[in-house]
Amino acid sequence: MFFDTDCGGVVHNIAYLRFIEIARTLLVEQLGLTLPEMAATQKYPVVVRTEIDYRRAAKLGDRLTIEGWLDQLERVRFWCA
């Protein structure tokens, strides 16, 4: 999207966090915790840490594929990769 880029058409670093959050939300829904259920129970997955290794710049018009998966599940935590 145009608003995700600078005047040179390069995607802002912060935009990647939004892409990751969308993927994380979809993953949590696939695992059985829907947004309405989270709102009703007041139980939400909380992001404690985010790490991004930028390999190269995405530019305006590029089509990106964002993939996420459950990497580790603990009693009170889960890790996405």
pLDDT, tens digit, for every residue of 20-47?
888 888 888 888 888 898 889 888 878 8
Question: What residues contact 71, with CB distance under 8 A and at least 6 apart?
Answer: 79, 80, 81
Put simply, whether the predicted model's pTM sits higher than 0.85 gets the answer no
Which single residue is written with the structure tokens 């995607």? 11
- Which is higher by pLDDT, 10 or 45? 10
Number of domains comprising the chain: 1
Question: What residues contact 81, with CB distance under 8 A and at least 6 apart?
Answer: 68, 69, 71
Which domain covers residue 20, as residue numbers?
Answer: 2-80
Residue 78, pLDDT above cutoff 70: no
